[in-house]
Structure 1
Amino acid sequence: MAAKPRDAVRRGPSMVRISERLTRLQPAATRVVSEKAADLRRQGRDIISLSTGEPDFVSPPAVMEAARRALDAGHTFYTPAAGLLELREEVARYYKTRFALEYEAREVMIGAGGKPLLFEACAALLNPGDEAIIIAPAFVSYVEQVRFCDAKPVIIETDPQTLDFSLGDIRAAITDRTRMIMLNAPNNPSGRIYGDDLVVGLCELAIEHDLTIINDEIYERIIFDGITYRNPLNLCPAARNRMLHINGASKSLAMTGWRIGFAIGPAELIKRMTMLQGHNTSGPSSIAQWAALGGLRNGQEQIDAMAAQYQKRKDLITARLGRMPYLRYIPPQGAFYIFADIRAAYGKSVGDMTITDDVSFCEALLEYAEIAAIPGAAFLQPGFFRMSFATSEDIIETAMTRMHDFLAALA
């Protein structure tokens, strides 16, 4: 019998060859902790999860009604790869109303959430060996997406007392391979909104060195204590051709599961990102796009109501945290997170566990207080941990009582 050709030999499951770039990819810590908390709940543990950055509100009536109308009208077909023209025009109108910035529909792209748009921006801007500046603490996906493009993330550490970055540090980090800077405000995980002088300085560096700023402002509608969030171009209009805004419906409109994000920026960059999306997802769900359009047009009252609830929750959790030992938090100015410094608890013990870093702290917190939180190391800021207060006041009260008892019991 003739031997089979070598390429016809069937490989076993263990022989699948995974690409090197994918084997370098690390899972998102936020998802890992959330899934572990859910698994412990299935085992009967009374776990309170403060790990997920997801509003607990159901999408507003304006969103639901627009989706129903789209279904009744039979809008179940492909949309243009860049997204519905009506939705792109509405996003451009929103940026004009909200920030007094003029954009055309061709400078707007709709994606299946903010993460795919961030990835498409990295793929459009980065070649192998290029560098991207990332300011810590940072959203967990920035580093992995840059690495996946065979580029190098350059991490800028911030002052642990304020979480502000230094323009001098960023200038020193710029090389002839630097292509982009990631800016995220209100920041995930800290809720920090950077001062005008820092933002203007960053824009000026981008202009000087021919860099693109990825301005991730997905939380810009969730702001506290009367603070005003200003888009970077309100502070430095000259940076318009150096700025790509990433926004979306997930946070402000409580539409996480609908997966709708917006990218707004230079037409050529949007064109290239759209081309990539056309070969990847072909664009987001048509019904989800019509739903987001309804939310943008008619959901302002619900957006304001949710923002007011986040303010109450922020006030509640910070009041409780202010009376706890070993913990120092950075007051959030936006988003719905507390980012707290836990280094004072290093060396303390509970049960058979000793706290040596932020990871072991979160492990002990989960085991002995049944609270799930995210270690700061996941956000490039060891010594801290993140809690989400996108949950009810009753749950926050219960979680804070458990946390106080846990901290008070540390030996």
Structure 2
Amino acid sequence: MKFSDRITRLQPAATRVVSERAADMRRQGRDVLSLSTGEPDFVSPPSVMRAAQDALDAGKTFYTPAAGVVELRAAIAAYYKSRFDLDYTPSEVMVGAGGKPLLYEACLALLNPGDEAILIAPAFVSYYEQVRLCDATPVVIQTDPATLDFSLDDIRAAITPRSRLIMLNAPNNPSGRIYSDDLVVGLCKLAMEHDLTIINDEIYERIVFDGRTYRNPLNLCPEAREHVLHINGASKSYAMTGWRIGFAIGPAALIKKMTMLQGHNTSGASSIAQWAALGGLENGQDEVDRMADSFQARKDLITRRLDDMPLLRYIKPEGAFYIFADARATFGKRYGEIQITDDISFCEALLEGAEVATIPGSAFLQPGFFRMSFATSEAVITEAMDRMQRFLTELE
């Protein structure tokens, strides 16, 4: 069998690879603690469950419009009005089977072979591969390792006649950064100046810490409306990862093209999952806030512990549920037979030596760092930090 060039060069998502390896070790009887998966440990809220059961009882098991049921699209538009004071109609909203398919459909709708997409490191693991699947070129903008902020001058210098889009993700996965208003406004102005589209991945916008407020780019630069596509969804804030429901909100012409692609691909998201998400949007906001409060407590716990860790420096997260830590001070050290030379060997040594699973920063285009998820219980976090501290003190 001969495979296509694009599938041959595709790399598996590192987040899944590590999670599956940790699961294999558990099956072998090893007590592995996972800080690798970006998935809340909460069960979906009662409002979601009730809406799904009501939809099943009503027999709503048929195909939906490719863009999603109009009631859910209207509720998403209403949410963007109440949350960000942005006016969208259901024709400017579509629902997909998670955020990833919508990101990919946006790339397919905007990129020709040979075009360029600007990615800001550290970046979500799938951006790079999705751009390459479109036979386009990812252009990676490196950030300041001390702050993980990008430079507008670097973005400007990277723009060429082949540039078509910029990926913006805040709160950022893996760093938890929320970029300054000045940086976001500057990015919007560059998009308008060069006729680029900003794909604004704000899937973590409800999970913010320490009194911070996440602001949508169009709150800061409303004149960029025709240059911004928002990607959001139910997975993270509503603890609905397995339901696979994402939202895309943006210019009607782009939404129409993406809907056409979806019609030829998945035909649309699960009908029952869509009605479940509608229940969450309409009746689950208090539950979302309670889960966000729990993430705040977990963030406080893990950062207190990391403050006392030798050899590590971390970027304080402002949102999402990740810690992105700098492991470069461990390079050149050993744990048993494992020589630590980079972020990948560091994570391997941590997994083998302390049975704690994390993700190398290289997967996010930021070598030298590693990502820990605190979307797990405080008991797991505490035990994982105990193990990590012992591991670090035992390095030679």
Question: TM exceeds 0.5?
Answer: yes
Count of aligned pairs between the two proteins: 396
Please state how far the C-alpha of 1:101 moved relative to its aligned partner: 0.2
String of CA shifts for 1:349-373, please: whole Å, max 9, x gaps.
Answer: 1111111100000000000000000
1:126 aligns with 111
Please state how far the C-alpha of 1:209 moved relative to its aligned partner: 0.1
2:181 aligns with 196
Q: Could you list the runs of 5+ residues in structure 1 that have no partner in the other structure?
A: 1-15
1:334 aligns with 319
Alignment of 1:215-226 (within 5 A): 215-226=200-211
Cα distance in 1 for partners of 2:27, 2:395 equals 28
AA at the equivalent of 2:347: C
String of CA shifts for 1:112-145, please: whole Å, max 9, x gaps.
Answer: 0000000000000000000000000000000000
Cα distance in 2 for partners of 1:300, 1:165 equals 33
Cα distance in 1 for partners of 2:177, 2:361 equals 15
**Secondary structure, counterpart of 2:300 in structure 1:** helix
Cα distance in 1 for partners of 2:87, 2:170 equals 21
In the TM superposition, structure 1's runs of 4+ consecutive aligned residues that sit over 3 Å from their partners are none
Q: CA RMSD in A?
A: 0.3
AA at the equivalent of 1:283: G
AA at the equivalent of 1:291: A
2:240 aligns with 255
1:381 aligns with 366
Q: Could you list the runs of 5+ residues in structure 2 that have no partner in the other structure?
A: none
Alignment of 1:1-16 (within 5 A): 16=1
1:7 aligns with none
Cα distance in 1 for partners of 2:285, 2:134 equals 38
1:178 aligns with 163
The answer to whether residue 123 in structure 2 is matched with residue 138 in structure 1 is: yes
Cα distance in 2 for partners of 1:137, 1:350 equals 27
The answer to whether residue 33 in structure 2 is matched with residue 75 in structure 1 is: no
The answer to whether residue 215 in structure 2 is matched with residue 236 in structure 1 is: no
Cα distance in 2 for partners of 1:335, 1:135 equals 17
AA at the equivalent of 1:105: P
TM-score when normalising by structure 2:
1.00
1:299 aligns with 284
Match of residue 274, structure 1, among 244, 247, 259:
259
Cα distance in 2 for partners of 1:144, 1:362 equals 22
Match of residue 109, structure 1, among 80, 83, 94:
94
Match of residue 370, structure 1, among 339, 350, 355:
355
Please state how far the C-alpha of 1:160 moved relative to its aligned partner: 0.1
Alignment of 1:317-332 (within 5 A): 317-332=302-317
1:58 aligns with 43
Aligned-pair identity in percent equals: 77
**Secondary structure, counterpart of 1:153 in structure 2:** strand
Cα distance in 2 for partners of 1:394, 1:21 equals 43
**Secondary structure, counterpart of 1:161 in structure 2:** coil
| Rg larger for | 1
AA at the equivalent of 1:80: P
